Structure 1
Amino acid sequence: MKALGAFFSELKRRRVYRVAVVYAAVAFVIWQAAEIAFPALNLPDWALTLVVVLTLAGFPIAVVFAWAFDITPEGVRRTTPAAASPAVMVRSAVRARRLAAAAAVVVLVIVAAWWIWGRRPSPASQLSPNRIAVFPFAVRGGEDLLYLHEGMVHLLSSALDGAGELRTVDPHALLSGLSLDEGDAPDPGTAAAVAARYGAGLYVLGSVVGSAERIEVTASLYGAPRGARTTAEAVPGRETDIQDLVDELARGLVADLAGRPGDRLASLAARTTRSIPALKAYLAGHRALHRGDMLGAIEAFENSLALDSAFVLARYELALTAAWEGHGVPARQAVVRAVQDSASLPARERRLLVGLDAFLRGDLQRAADSYRRVLGEYPDELEANYMLGETLFHLSSTHGQSMQRARAPFERVLNVDPDHLYSLHHLAVLALMRGEYVVADSLIERALATEPERWLVVCLRTNRAMASGDPDLRTAVQNDLPTVENLGLFCSMMTSTWIFKDPADARWVVEALTAPHRATQLRAAGHALLAYYEAARGRPSQVDRELVEVDRLYPLGASHRAYLSLLPLAPSDRSMLEERLREVEAWDVASLPTSTTALMIPPVEVQPAIRLYLLGALSARLGRDSAALAYADRLEQLELAGGGDLSATLAPGIRAALAAAHGELEEALRLLETAPFRGHYEEVYTSPVISMAAERYLMAELLDAAGRSREALGWLASLGDLQAYEIAYVAPAHLRRAQIHERLGEPEQAAEHYARFIELWRECDPELRPLVEDAEARLAQLREQT
């Protein structure tokens, strides 16, 4: 230890420390200067490496010289050793030289490695595909345009930054690292290396040619690190219009970069607005929509339209987002305005607008035709495939068709964009409905990997918990439901009802709507749904307990009691029906508070139609023909504030029920087959009246009576697929399907539906027990036969 201490004292005495520090500082300055100067002098990359190696090699030499020599007023002199014995002096000197050299090499290697590592080009895997570097433009023309050499870096970087997910390299940082002759631009290889240094996977090179009276600005977009050019844009104009030229150039570049794979809308949007701020707001909304941030998307689209009111695609996506949030009136208003302003759009996008307008109005045929016309010419069009999937998923049931028809278009979306969030979710739901749990779990995992908003995460996890039966997963989801936003509750409740159609097993999801901290109207909707869940289990005796809560929270109990009394197999005697009729007559829809719970409670604008329908349906069931027909007439004449074809379907429904009651089955069937079966997209989920569930059940009965039993089975299968209130029809539909299959000589299918009916009504009220016992007897007989 004494020797080592003496050694360090000797290093200090001989000024070795000072020399090492000064040498390292000078070497660092040399490296920095070489890094800036060598590219400007067009020296090869190995020249900079050579400088580093030479300075590294010189460091131990400088340290050794510092040990051996000293600079004095008389000149360079050999350093005089400290007093010691000759043998000790020799050994100390040798050891000191070795240690000094080794320490010097280690220190310099560490410093050099740190410097080189910090300035290495980013590997391709670390280059951001959304980071873009704009380099100085080459200027060819009058000297008065030379300011655009570096000026274009600032102007175009500002225009591109924040367009969608694009982020630009700071112009000041970029320019400080370049040394170019005035008016010159770097070559693609140099630009690629510098862009990679800043982690930019994209870079722009360009030129300005001409004079103040007429200039042409050209920009080429490259992908680092190979320097492959992906697109070029040229814009002519005058110097006084330079900002407009830059904006047009930026829009052209963004058009080739915006959006996800196959996302034509985002690309087209860049060419359909002249406002860069409006485009940036639109792309922010587009990105928010595709991760499930509906409120953020609506705000961004509204900001975009405030900046450019003629921006049709922003209005289109505003309509779509508002619809997903359940705001039907503004959604339909937005799409109508978009259709009116769409003359400048290509035919493909105009058809998408027509399709969305039809979809929001519940017009299955017109919407599907619009999207299929696009796909006939462009089979891989992402938006048309996606919206065709949405149309078939949400509207097929209203026409007695299977939701599974939506599977093919959603799968085509994933062929173009494997991470399309909503297609993954819809396909997972469809797979769960088919009982393909492994497939569904894989799709759910892929959807979760896209990192969607929390409401959708909770919905996906609810679906997974219901499918797996995992008690721990269910407990985790139950802990999530109290704090998730309304859209997450709605999605969880609705998909669980569609998929499993089990009112006993899914009750815990619906109960989350009734939590005391939830909004009053949402709690009312929750209790109303619980009443239908009780009816779905064959327990009408439990219905009133829930509807009392509904009346306390939001006065809709009368409408629900009336509707539930009209259900197939419901034990309703004449006195009960007359009581329900008096309650609906006394129901004051004009005093109802405005509905604030989208997708859960019918808008107040349609409540008069619901009231007239219930009055007509109850009158028809009581045999009061003239009153029923009068209500149907009034319903047809009613002008709904939100427009639509609801009355045109519900009025024939009353007349068909009346005709069927009198045995006029052909007339009843004609009335329903000519009815439009259309309800506004978001309103359909709020009431079984608007989803036309009773008319769809009656349609199945009439088709079966007409010998069209296969068609009848499709209509029966659709009940419960469209919205949660329809769960009350699932057990009666299973019973009728069992009876039809048995009559068609299909015992296995018949047994399956008898068994499902028995399971759903296993805890039914005593007065309904004979229906279950009869089904059990039929099931036992079928099993004996098979």
Structure 2
Amino acid sequence: ADIYEVADGQRLGQGQVEGAPDSVLMLADRLATDVLRVILRKGDGEVPRIDLASVTTASFPALKAYLEGEVLFRRSDFDASIEAYRRAVEADSTFALAYYRLSEAYGWSESIWSESAGEMLERAARLAHRLPERDALFVRASLALHRFTLDGLEPMRQAVRKYPEDPEAWFLLGDTYYHLGQAALVSLEETERALTRAVEIEPRFMPYRIHPVDLAFWHADSALAAQRIDDYQRLAPDAGFAHTSRRAFALAFGDSAVHAQARAGLNTLEVAEIWRLQGYFFHPRHAAERETVLNTTRRRDDVLKTRALIRLFDASMTRGRLQEGLEYLADPMTAADGRVCGVYEVHIRGLPVTDERLESTLAFSEHDTIPRTGMLCIGAYAADRGRWADHSGAVENLRRQAQSALGVGDSAEAGFYAALAQALEGYALWKRGQPDAALRTLTNAQPNASAAALDWLGLTHAEPVRWWLGQLYLELDRPRDAEPYFRSLWWDPLAHYYLGTIYEEQQEFDRARDAYSYFVESWRDADPELRPLVERGRRGLIRVTGVRRE
């Protein structure tokens, strides 16, 4: 096929494909890609794969802008791709696929909570009926993830079975695991498998490589992090992500001189980039780096300070520094719901906290306006104290908020509040001596209740419902059923202690050793009042070290 410029008739080049007569549609897609390579003047590795069935626009300017955006997006130039995708939807306001990609670009450029990302994704969802089944499924699953619900999880699991060689299907499944896997009781290993499968299928699509780098940090694996950063930088040397990940590597794994230089350089960065760095440092081994980044953020930005203080509490807890964590919660700038759930986390894990602190933080008031999981924690504390009128008041508060959300058409928010109310009712059943009924109620409420906490608090493990279920199963002498709940608390050292006891009882000594080691290493500098617990973990580690199941 000869290719000409319409305006002046100039010949731009030629596209040619060959194949069997029964493969016409596939050949048409390949020819379209060849033609676009000529039009966009790009090399073989730069032009995106074209599925003509997904391209629902009749506007050539819209299509050309969209494909320019695809070239930029695939090499992680998100800001530039946003401009291209915007031109596409300006040229054709019904171009569903361009809205979808625009939302993704905003999500990477800003955050998963980006208002612009949400707005573009809502528009794509309204136009999804114009798309083929596969693409419509991806749009709806992405919208579910943006809303932090698990509604897209099972459709994406079905998608990778239906389209096993589709990298986008694997990435969307992995991305859902990455953000909501804890609520879905998914392990880090399952998350890793889904995300790396997308890279294996489409290695030059750079956005697929970003989360696998994060996961290498989350495993505290310096060799794997270095390899993945090198691979990324080799393919996209100018991408901003490459520079950010290099800074994170210097902070996490650099020698003393490199670390000091990277730390000194934090003050030269934009606040948004500093904040982005803290997402690399969830592993307890990197808690000190996380604290450094978060403290730099809160000194520079009053808006982010409230969120930074909650995460600083979280980082302190991963190191067993209870008193330091409580001091962060006491800061008047700490968000009220984070303060409430942080203190409740300490209480529910059986760690020492004064009655005065508990009462001043967790006592119920019918005038409370604390949102989401904060009210769950207040109601649960009331149940712990046998204050059933206060517990009922907390349940009613959550149900009113669910109705209010429905009244403004926010079904996702209403679902979160309804699940939290149901979880609180399940907790009361447990405390009133009805464990079987409690299990049914809590299990039903857990996915949405956990997702609500992950979305709202942004903490790595301060979410009570999975902890309740793990402890309830242990109380019922069902350790195998408790295991997924503790395992889903990815970076919680105390959850790893309980995993160690479970695996030891099941004679899975290698797994017990890994779990005990994680706990003991994480809390090696714990506060004095926590050291007896660390010693129990150390004795468990000694028991299982060198033991193999016959």
TM class, shorter-chain normalised? Answer: 0.7 to 0.9
Q: Does 1:475 align with 2:260?
A: yes
The higher relative CO (CA closer than 8 Å, separation ≥ 6) is in: 2
Structure 1 residue aligned with 2:26: none
Q: Is it true that 1:355 corresponds to 2:355 in the alignment?
A: no
| Paired amino acid for 1:361 | R
For residue 436 of structure 1, report the CA deviation from its aligned partner: 5.3
> SS state of the match for residue 519, structure 2?
helix
How far residue 230 of structure 1 moved from its aligned partner, in angstroms, is 4.1
- Is the partner of 2:447 in helix, strand or coil? coil
What's the counterpart of residue 419 of structure 1? 204
- Give, as a single letter, the amino acid of the residue that structure 2 aligns with 1:306: E
Aligned match for 1:538, one of 320, 328, 331: 320
- 1:636–1:647 Cα contact (<8 Å) kept: yes
Match of 1:391 among 176, 200, 211: 176
Q: Supply the AA of the counterpart residue of 2:383.
A: A
Q: Distance in 1 between matches of 2:101 and 2:308?
A: 30
Q: Do the aligned partners of residues 310 and 449 (structure 1) sit closer, same or farther apart at CA in structure 2, a change above 3 Å counting?
A: same
Structure 2 vs 1, CA of residues 755 and 609 (structure 1 numbering), >3 Å: closer, same or farther? Answer: closer
Amino acid at match of 1:341: L
User: 2:164 pairs with 366, 379, 388, which one?
Assistant: 379
Q: Distance in 2 between matches of 1:407 and 1:512?
A: 30
8 Å Cα contact 1:548-1:557 kept in structure 2 = no
In structure 2, what is the equivalent of residue 596 of structure 1?
none
- Name the counterpart of 1:579: 360
Equivalent AA in structure 2 for residue 616 of structure 1: G
CA distance in 2, matches of 1:334, 1:681: 23
**CA distances 1:190-229 after superposition (whole Å, capped 9, x unpaired):** x8xxxxxxxxxxx43xxxxxxxxxxxxxxxx33xxxxxx2
Does the alignment pair 1:624 with 2:387?
Answer: yes
8 Å CA contact 2:294–2:312 kept in 1: the answer is yes
State how 1:185-224 maps to structure 2 within 5 Å.
203-204=12-13, 221-222=14-15
- Aligned CA distance change for structure 1 residues 294 and 632 (closer, same or farther; 3 Å): farther
CA contact (8 A) 1:328 1:682 kept: no
Q: Residues 261 and 618 from structure 1, CA distance in 2 versus in 1: closer, same or farther, beyond 3 angstroms?
A: farther
Question: Does the 8 Å contact 1:562/1:580 carry over to 2?
Answer: yes
Q: 2:183·2:450 contact (CA, 8 Å) conserved in 1?
A: no
The 1:712–1:473 alpha-carbon spacing in structure 2 relative to 1, beyond 3 Å, is farther
Q: Which residue of 1 aligns with 2:24?
A: none
- 1:151 alignment partner in structure 2: 8
Kindly indicate whether residue 548 of structure 2 is the aligned counterpart of residue 766 of structure 1.
no
- Contact preservation (8 Å) 1:528, 1:547: yes
Correspondence for 2:537: 775
In the alignment, the residues of structure 1 paired with residue 94 and residue 496 of structure 2 have an alpha-carbon distance, to the nearest angstrom, of 52
Counting only pairs closer than 5 Å after superposition, residues 178-189 of structure 1 correspond to structure 2 as none
Does the 8 Å CA contact 1:754/1:779 hold for their aligned counterparts? yes
Distance verdict in 2 for CA 1:250–1:740, change over 3 Å:
closer
**One-letter code of the match for 2:340?**
S
Cα displacement (A) at 1:345: 2.1
Give me the whole-angstrom Cα distance separating, in 1, the residues matched to 2:39 and 2:176.
29
1:315-357 deviation digits (Å, cap 9, x = unpaired)? 1123333444233555444334323323332222222222222
After superposition, give the CA deviation of every residue in 1:676-726 in whole Å (9 maximum; x if it has no partner): 613798983550589872111122222334454234223212213xxxxxx
**How far apart, CA to CA, are the structure 2 residues paired with 1:394 and 1:345?**
26
- Secondary structure in 2 matching 1:657: helix
Structure-2 change in CA distance of 1:254 and 1:447 (3 Å): same
Change (3 A) 1:574 1:653: farther
Give how far 1:276 is off.
3.3
Residue 319 of structure 1 aligns with which residue? 103
Correspondence for 1:400 among 162, 185, 191: 185
2:63 paired residue number: 279
1:344 and 2:344 matched: no
Q: Say which structure is richer in helix.
A: 2
Greater radius of gyration (CA):
1
Following TM superposition, by how much is the alpha carbon of 1:494 offset from its aligned partner in structure 2, in angstroms?
1.7
Counterpart Cα distance in 2 of 1:262 and 1:667? 57
TM-score, length of structure 1 as denominator length: 0.59
Higher normalized strand content (fraction of residues):
1
Hey, what's the Cα distance between the residues in 2 that align with 1:681 and 1:330? 22
Distance in 1 of aligned mates of 2:45 and 2:211: 19
Which AA in structure 2 matches 1:410? L
**Residue aligning to 1:125:** none
Counterparts of 2:427 and 2:96, CA distance in 1? 45
Paired letter, 2:359: E
The structure-2 alpha-carbon separation of the partners of 1:492 and 1:332, relative to structure 1 and needing over 3 Å to count, comes to: same
Aligned to 1:741: 503
Cα 1:685/1:635, change in 2 over 3 Å: closer
Aligned pairs for 1:498-517 (under 5 A) are: 499-500=283-284, 502-504=286-288, 506-514=290-298, 516=299
Match of 2:305 in 1: 523
Secondary structure at the counterpart of residue 532 of structure 1: helix
Where structure 1 has 5 or more consecutive residues not aligned to the other structure, the ranges are 1-132, 137-147, 154-190, 192-202, 205-220, 223-228, 232-248, 590-606, 721-726
> In 1, Cα distance between the equivalents of 2:358 and 2:297?
30
Query: Judging changes above 3 Å, is the alpha-carbon distance between structure 1 residues 586 and 309 closer, same or farther for their aligned structure 2 residues?
Result: same
Structure 1 residues 629, 696: closer, same or farther in 2, change over 3 A?
A: same
Q: Conserved in 1, the CA contact under 8 Å of 2:171 and 2:194?
A: yes
The answer to whether the aligner puts 1:674 opposite 2:441 as a matched pair is: no
Q: Does 1:609 align with 2:372?
A: yes
Letter in 2 for 1:653: A
Instruction: Work out whether residues 467 and 486 of structure 2, in 8 Å CA contact, stay in contact via their aligned partners in 1.
Output: yes
SS of equivalent to 2:203? coil
The sequence identity of aligned pairs, in percent, is 24
In the TM superposition, residue 531 of structure 1 has moved relative to its aligned partner by: 2.1
Structure-1 separation of matches of 2:449 and 2:106: 17
Please report how far the alpha carbon of residue 313 of structure 1 lies from its aligned counterpart in structure 2 after TM superposition.
0.7
Alignment of 1:496 onto 2:281: yes
The Cα RMSD (Å) is 4.0
Displacement of 1:445: 0.4
Count of aligned pairs between the two proteins: 526
Judge conservation of contact 1:298–1:318 (CA < 8 Å) in 2. Answer: yes
How many angstroms apart in 2 are the aligned matches of 1:525 and 1:556? 11
Alignment of 1:745-760 (within 5 A): 745-760=507-522
Asked if the contact 1:455–1:488 (Cα under 8 Å) also holds between the matched residues in 2, the reply is no
For residue 152 of structure 1, give the secondary structure of its aligned residue in structure 2: coil
The separation in 2 between residues aligned to 1:298 and 1:254, in whole angstroms, is 20
**How many angstroms apart in 1 are the aligned matches of 2:136 and 2:93?**
18
Residues 704 and 544 of structure 1, relative CA distance in 2, 3 Å threshold: closer
Between the aligned partners of 2:133 and 2:543, the Cα distance in structure 1 is: 60
What is the deviation of 1:495?
Answer: 2.4
Q: Distance in 1 between matches of 2:296 and 2:243?
A: 13
When residues 271 and 433 of structure 1 are mapped into structure 2, their CA distance, relative to the original with a 3 A threshold, is: closer
Shift of 1:270: 8.8
Partners of 1:263 and 1:373 in 2: CA distance: 29
2:304 maps to 1:447: no
CA distance in 2 between counterparts of 1:397 and 1:434 reads 15
Query: What does residue range 254-293 of structure 1 map to in structure 2 within 5 Å?
Result: 254=36, 268=52, 271-293=55-77
Preserved CA contact (<8 Å) 1:252 1:271: no
Structure 1 Cα separation of the partners of residues 453 and 433 of structure 2: 33
What is the alpha-carbon distance in structure 2 between the residues aligned to residue 779 and residue 555 of structure 1?
38
The aligned amino acid for 1:571 is P
Q: Note the C-alpha offset of 1:385.
A: 2.3
Letter in 2 for 1:272: T
SS in 1 for 2:372: helix
Match of 2:465 among 681, 695, 701: 695
What is the letter of the counterpart of residue 530 of structure 2? L
> Would you say the 8 A contact 2:423–2:441 is kept in 1?
yes
